[in-house]
Structure 1
Amino acid sequence: MKKIEAIIRPENFQKLREEIEKFGVKGLTVSEVGGCGVQKGKQGLFRGNTFEITLLPKVKVEIVTDVESVDSLVTIIKKTCTTGEVGDGKIFIYPIEEVIRIRTGQRGTEAIV
């Protein structure tokens, strides 16, 4: 099993959710996060004072899936979340050693389906 973690622009989340649901993903975890990278942040103006926003709002989407689905899901994420501008985000893929559903005790792929 693998965990796909995508950090994306907030405005792309709803479309991404619809696309991965069509693919058959039943569960995911979503967090509102802040971050910066090449995008660096931006300057704002409040009551005549300039300030810098160094952490920009992002959404972190986490999906645990079987190894066979990883490439398809990465393709969906890239297709749905690419604007071509700096700040589109990143995709991280991690190995998952074990998954256990707390309620039933199911393990492995059974626990995520």
Structure 2
Amino acid sequence: MKLITAIIKPFKLEEVREALAEVGVSGITATEVKGFGRQKGHTELYRGAEYQVDFLPKIKIEVVVASDKLEATLEAITKAAHTGKIGDGKIFVTSIDQTIRIRTGETNESAL
């Protein structure tokens, strides 16, 4: 099993959710986060004063998939979140040792 953590632009959330549903991913967790990478924030103008915004709004998506669904899931996220502009985001993949569904006690892939 693999944990996929993707940091994407907020307006791409619905497209990514739909793409994941198409490849059979049944559940995701999405969190509003702030951060910056190479784009290093931007400058905004408010009431005539210019100020620097260092942390940009992003969405962090977390999904656990069976190892055999990994490539299809990564491709779905990549295609749906892609704009071709700086700040599209990143995807991190981590191994998961054990999963337990609290309600039923199912473990590992049957718990997904």
Cross-structure match for 1:105: 105
| Structure 1 residues 9-24: aligned runs within 5 Å | 9-24=9-24
Cross-structure match for 1:44: 44
Task: Render the CA deviation track for 1:75-107: whole Å, top value 9, x for unaligned.
Answer: 111111111111000000000010001111110
Task: Render the CA deviation track for 1:24-55: whole Å, top value 9, x for unaligned.
Answer: 11111100001101011111111121111100
Counterpart code for 1:88: D
Counterpart code for 1:111: A
Counterpart code for 1:10: P
Larger deviation: 85-94 or 20-29? 20-29
Q: Secondary structure at the match of 1:57?
A: strand
Counterpart code for 1:75: E
Check if 1:53 corresponds to 2:53. yes
| Structure 1 residues 85-96: aligned runs within 5 Å | 85-96=85-96
Cross-structure match for 1:3: 3
Cross-structure match for 1:80: 80
Counterpart code for 2:105: G
Counterpart code for 1:63: V
Distance 2:93 2:47 in 1: 43
Q: Secondary structure at the match of 2:37?
A: coil
Cα shift at 1:71: 0.7
Distance 2:46 2:15 in 1: 32
Identity of aligned residues (%): 42
Check if 1:27 corresponds to 2:13. no
TM (norm. structure 2) is 0.97
Counterpart code for 1:30: A
Number of equivalent positions: 112
Distance 1:7 1:82 in 2: 12
